[in-house]
Structure 1
């Protein structure tokens, strides 16, 4: 799953949902290649009734099939101003982390490896729908683009669809950038 350079991510539509589930699809074949699911404890579910979910901790497991073992895990603890989101591989070892920007017009965050080296920056446009992965040298190495789902779905649901594209020269960090693309919606945008 992590060897791809293009991913289509579709959020499941749900009424009164307390956790998110996203299908990860190969855009060339339209075949499902994975799923991302928020895995929350009872207390976090209960607190989401009264507290904004962007403040509460969350864990997102990215697996090749629903309820399967995680290939990647996105974890965020309690947060107020700036979030730190840790990314773990299938063995539970850290592969990097994201640090949200304090001020950003279109949204965005920094992507770091395990040695605290800046790997990329995620920059959003003024609408907060399209994002670019910019490497430490200032070159674009990937994009996240929101796909229009139609008037009915856009007006009456918060379910989004994104295309994540990763440049060939950055495929060694595909897991980190796939997690970054998912974190845009799951961790930073959903309210």
Structure 2
């Protein structure tokens, strides 16, 4: 599949947020804020982290993926603070990108995830060779669908048996699909 090589900015600022490359010293805040919480990762593709070392391992993985150009994960931080409250990832796939995100429950319902997603969707679609920015969520997670809509994405339909969410079931589950195209 032909596309482009993305070169993301290491830091992106919005009115209320700083999106930056995650660091190993973020592990404790990420572990405590959301990565260890079963209620937060319920509809994600990974299980809750059992230790801060699990989180460090994950941070090493996302750092290496960034360096290879496979995916670009950003720590979501409040503008006046350095501790991550969540994370958002860009997964390039030829002429499109796919997003995934998570945010700690103490920051749910405040529009931070939609703000982060919106700026990265717009940045992605401004890149030469990227024509589609998409994301999906478990069919039982409509709050995530609302985040995508607030970020300017349009609901496209149900992807049948699309993604395994191991905290819910071992079989692929139906997902709601959203995108924005240029």
* TM-score normalized with structure 1 length: 0.29
Structure number with the higher strand fraction is 1
**Which structure exhibits the higher relative contact order, with contacts defined as CA atoms closer than 8 Å and separated by 6 or more residues?**
2
